[in-house]
Amino acid sequence: MERPIADEIRTYRTEKPLDRCAVLLDAAQDHLQDGDVEQAVVIWKELVFKGGEYADSARLNYAEHLFDEYEDDDAYAQLDAVLEPWRIFSKSWLRAVEMVEQHDPELALYLCTLAIECVTREDAGIPARASRLLHLAATCRRLRWEAGIRLTDTDLLAKIGHLEKRQKELRLRAIINEPKVVERRLHFWARELLESLDRPSGTGIPLERPAAYYLKVERVLRAQDGGRVVAAQLEGADWTRLVELADNAKHTDDLPNIVSGYDQGTVVEWPPGRNQACWCGSGTKYKKCCGANRPPP
């Protein structure tokens, strides 16, 4: 049997604030935790019916419960009133989009894109709204990236997300880990940088020892049939710059061009003389290091 709403107020009067709607909202959550779903729903519907500042919270809590019960259509029906375009700068709208994202990322991306298109110059000039707009733009960029959709110029103005940044960094590492000559230029890791980079397993980045990596570079250089190749080692500052350039890439497919088009790095002489220090930075003579199997001239 449903408990009268008045009883909820009396029950919580000694423990909760006297704001009637706040008391009811807390009571609904307590009922939900205790397994009394019917009473929680009664309270949410009461708050929605009365409107006001707590109506959105009631709708959102009710929608969250419906999603948990796999009643998605009813949940979206509760969110419809919160997701009106004119409400894009409210906290409730942002929370509703976050809830939608958990169940339908494509719909969340559509809502964010539509919302950004509705923003006016006047909105951007209001500090409180500008802050929400930045958050909205960052969300839109993150959702587009996670969906594998090419970023737009507008997306690049927003703050880069952690996942996007990490994936781009890992892709850059993988490219440099597989040395390739492009337009007579080859980039490779400087030894100190290679040994200092965190290379966690399960990321697609080979966990190679430096000796194995530099022998691979040596083989690529030898395969050029004596053609002039600029071998440039990437040091810490170069890596930082490449990461910055990658942050503004619209897709991971653009990253190989960023690496091949990078014209910086410390150029090393290759091949060095057999009795000279090896180009890889090991401190050993070339003939006893990467050039061990190279026949003398």
What DSSP letter does each residue of 39-69 carry, written as one string? HHHHHHHHHHHH-SHHHHHHHHHHHHHHHHT
Is residue 252 a part of any domain in this protein?
A: yes
Do 141 and 176 lie in one domain? The reply is no
- Which residue, 131, 162, 193, sits at the end of a domain? 162
pTM: 0.73
Q: Closest by alpha carbon to 281, among 240, 212, 233, 223?
A: 233
Per-residue pLDDT of 120-132, as tens digits, reads 777 777 777 788 8
Q: Rounded to whole angstroms, how far apart are CA atoms 291 and 285?
A: 9
Do 11 and 158 lie in one domain? The reply is yes
Is residue 88 a part of any domain in this protein?
A: yes
> pLDDT of the chain along its 297 residues, tens only?
445 555 555 555 445 445 778 888 888 888 888 888 888 888 888 888 888 778 899 999 999 999 998 899 999 999 998 988 788 888 889 899 989 998 999 999 998 888 888 877 777 777 777 888 888 889 899 999 988 899 988 889 888 989 899 999 889 888 888 888 888 888 998 888 887 776 554 444 555 678 888 899 999 988 886 567 888 889 989 999 999 999 999 999 999 999 988 888 888 888 888 899 999 888 899 889 888 876 655
Number of alpha carbons in the 13 Å side-chain half-sphere of residue 54: 16
Q: Rounded to whole angstroms, how far apart are CA atoms 17 and 90?
A: 24
Do 187 and 282 lie in one domain? The reply is yes
- Which residue, 133, 162, 191, sits at the end of a domain? 162
Do 119 and 234 lie in one domain? The reply is no
Q: Rounded to whole angstroms, how far apart are CA atoms 296 and 225?
A: 15
Do 98 and 215 lie in one domain? The reply is no
Q: How many residues does the chain have?
A: 297
Is residue 293 a part of any domain in this protein?
A: no
Do 121 and 187 lie in one domain? The reply is no
Do 151 and 92 lie in one domain? The reply is yes
Please count the structural domains in the chain. 2
Do 154 and 255 lie in one domain? The reply is no
Do 27 and 138 lie in one domain? The reply is yes
- Which residue, 162, 186, 203, sits at the end of a domain? 162
Is residue 271 a part of any domain in this protein?
A: yes
Do 278 and 238 lie in one domain? The reply is yes
**Cβ contacts of 48 within 8 Å, gap of 6 or more:** 55, 58, 59, 62
- 135 alpha-carbon distance from chain centroid: 13
CATH number at residue 95: 1.25.40
Strand-pair category, 185-189 with 230-234: parallel
Is residue 294 a part of any domain in this protein?
A: no
Is residue 189 a part of any domain in this protein?
A: yes
**Inter-residue contact 234 to 265 (CB < 8 Å):** yes
Question: Range of 264's domain?
Answer: 163-288
